[in-house]
Structure 1
Amino acid sequence: MHIDNFFATSNSAVSDADYVIFGIPYDATQSFKPGSRFAPNAIREASWNLESYSVYFDYNLDFARIADAGNVNCDGNFEEVSERVSKLFEEINGIPIALGGEHSISYMVARNLEDFVYVVFDAHLDLREGFDSNPYNHACTTRRVMEIADEVIIAGARSATKEEREFAENSGIEVHYSWDLLEYGFDDLLDTLESKDRIYLSLDMDVFDPAFAPGVSTPEPIGIHPYDFLRVLDEIGDRIIAFDVVEVIPDVNKVTQTLAAKMVNEFIASNASLRF
């Protein structure tokens, strides 16, 4: 099997692409298992094991214009890396697809967007004002993004401080906890998302139960099933203006990075099949 150092479905120049994949291998604030800096390349490698045809969406990715812009240089501090991400955005005309890196890279992407709803699938609320004296710690990502987003919706959460939970309730953030999704299904979430346009969809791989995604920075039991994420893509795929996959710690059996690569393919298939 041929394996190269770019995403397997890449077939276009960045300036011409409808979808631009790029890595942000930044993991300076990870607080449990480190190593998501290696995830973008591991996800790329895993992508070569996957078919370019989505059976679920009945779409062949060969017909989508997809570019891989490589990795952003992550030397330096958070602001310096963020500036490089913004510089890359000047070249992107299609939908950006960011491969983390830790979850704080979502803010690096979000600051280049306007008029969007931030929909984040995450085991954690990530609503701390600061952590380790750093307002841009991965545990603060949703708190920072909500400062620039029109609205925030969190799905699959099952871990937080009491203060974070109260902040979400007092701030009007809609949270769909994993146990509610597991017991009652996704219809309430899908009903909420039905009216949302211009969605920035962020997928923290720890939203899935560790049985499906063991290679994540902060694994949390009682997670959701990957199939349910496909159902969500089927409903909102054509309204997504940016997508990211974060918090993968490449595992020796390549389970988690393969699931991440699969979700990138399925997102593109969902978007392209509904838009074109």
Structure 2
Amino acid sequence: MIVVTGATGQLGRLVVEGLLAKVPAAELAVAVRSPEKAAAWAGRGVAVREVDYGRPGTLAAAFGAGDRVLLISGSEVGARVPQHTAVVEAAKAAGVARLVYTGVLGGDEAGFALADEHKATEAVIRASGLPYTFLRNGWYTENYTANAAAAIEHGTVLGSSGDARIATASRQDFADAAVAVLTGEGHEGRAYELSGDTAWSFSEYAAELAAASGRPVAYRNVGAEEHRAALVGAGVPEVFADILVDVDAAIARGELARDRGVLSGLIGRPTTPLAETVRAALAG
């Protein structure tokens, strides 16, 4: 059995659909906080298990001996390590065959704060003795294109990473990597550093927005404090504003433009170009 946790999230949904294209529904289970959101999958024969990372008691029946489990990282910054630890402990108690974890590009070498909980989780997994695979995902292009309409409206892409480059890939690309690892062999004990084939600058991103929309858009590079203030002024919670500014500092250091080609090698095709994801975002 393949078990996908966090299956109703943006990444998880793509992973489940990819798995359904490759394995029978009867060999797939989803572990979700709200089973009603997975009703359509249940109707197709997928086992639906109610699981909440924050309620360890729900994890006892989530996994079985011999399962391959995809632990999709939780979204609660500051709570992820105990939540992930509870999942790892439940997986070990159940005797799962392999635990696949979606971490962050760079692993132990990553120098930005958002990576800290991922590093700690990987350490917990290693210490558990479970067979594992680490999918160290780089940045999703959709992290930026989700705000494409606002950037076009204001005519500005704001950031604090200068002319540095970032090698993003689409969420579908990363989902396909998870499917490849869950259904393939030879991945045990591996840590895959996953990023897009092509690195781009935010000036180039602004140019793509302009080309796709027919409206002028330019990149405006500012200092870290001004960037943070602008984010908070736009309604971003302070803790997330700090994270975003810190990520831009990591981009400036080149940390998110590394290991290009690993992701495309794993999925057997080129990663999705920036322009394609921009067009998809603007198409709705």
Looking at CA atoms only, which structure, 1 or 2, has the larger radius of gyration? 2
Q: Counting helix residues as a fraction of each chain, which structure ranks higher?
A: 2
TM bin, normalised by shorter chain, reads 0.3 to 0.5
Give the TM-score normalised by structure 2: 0.32
Higher relative contact order (CA 8 A, sep 6+): 1
